[in-house]
Structure 1
Amino acid sequence: MHIHLNDSDISQMPEHLHHLFLEWLPEHLKTKNSSFSQGLVDKLSQTEVSPKQLHVFESPTQEENTEHSHVKLSQLFDAGITKKGMPVRVKLKRGMAKKLQRDYINGLEISVKGTIVYNGEEFDKPSPLATKVNGSAANGWEYIEVKKNDQWIRLEELRQIWRNTND
């Protein structure tokens, strides 16, 4: 499990909850065996706690890592799975495809940063791009394809390659 609290989250806690949280956290972290945990306990023991961001990590299972990790397009690029200039197309949902009388938006490509630019907007996550193209929510990992070795491959397959090499 991964809990991420920033200054805003902590400051919006009701005073009683904020106090209980700051009492509970050092005790909870003492059960963890990491230098990070000890450093955070030391920081919380000081008179003033003002972290820019407070991260609390528990060791996730491999299954949780795979299911919940958010992979960005630039990570595929950095790993060499995608390359600058590779053609990209976005599959259209049935209604949009009928309206536009085609099945895909073509002519996109992987940028020098590993992202995809569409209508002047840069996307490092596929779902916002697929949603923008389709006008309604769409899973970009399923709706976006990259031409690799003369074959169109769904981003989902490329993400799986990345996950297999980064477990």
Structure 2
Amino acid sequence: MVARNLKTKNSSLSQGLAQKPSPSEVASKQLHIFDNLTPEENSENSHVKLSQLFDAGITRKGMSVRVKLKRGVAKKLHRDYIDGLEISPTGIIVYNGEDFDKPSPLAAKFNGGAANGWEYIEVKKNNQWIRLEELRQIWRSTNDQERFTFPNFH
């Protein structure tokens, strides 16, 4: 009886393996792997780091930084932001001895899970809180043009 059960299981397993997806099904699945990327993961293709904003003069040493909390965390802590952070002399954010040159790991640390740091972290610039995403757009507007300019070959 055990042998029959094994044979039945193996038969259904081999039948499942014998049915290969068509090339169009494979291509469709491969194309959709990018559908589930978060905006942060998509933006990682450009690899902008906090130190690059600093090097470009968009952020400066000592600028105040705050992290927005997700609704559930904010309710628990009875506050909307974690304040008291700042841009370090090297252009990154240091928290509890840990260096953050990318914003999402810092936002995730305070929010207890994945969080887009470009959206959740703000810097005080000219007495106004500005999302890092806006500062990254400023950096991209000047640096992407340089990156995609090709030399003339005559």
TM-score, with normalisation over the residues of structure 2?
0.65
Percent of aligned positions with the same letter in both sequences? 84
* Residues 1:142 and 2:119 are matched in the alignment: yes
CA distance in 2, matches of 1:138, 1:104: 14
* Residues 1:133 and 2:107 are matched in the alignment: no
> Higher strand share goes to which structure?
1
Q: Secondary structure at the match of 1:90?
A: strand
Aligned residues: 102
Q: 1:68, CA displacement in angstroms?
A: 2.2
Q: Secondary structure at the match of 1:166?
A: helix
Match of 1:70 in 2: 47
Structure 2 spans left out of the alignment, 5+ residues: 1-42, 145-154
Structure 1 spans left out of the alignment, 5+ residues: 1-65
**For the structure 1 residues 120 and 94, does the alpha-carbon distance in structure 2 shift closer, same or farther, using more than 3 Å as the test?**
same
CA RMSD after TM alignment: 1.1
Match of 2:24 in 1: none
> Higher helix share goes to which structure?
2
* Residues 1:98 and 2:55 are matched in the alignment: no
Amino acid at match of 1:119: N
Please list every run of at least 4 consecutive aligned residues from structure 1 whose deviation after the TM superposition is greater than 3 angstroms: none
CA distance in 1, matches of 2:47, 2:98: 20
Q: Secondary structure at the match of 1:122?
A: strand
TM-score, with normalisation over the residues of structure 1?
0.60
Match of 1:111 in 2: 88
| 1:1-167 to 2 correspondences below 5 Å | 68-167=45-144
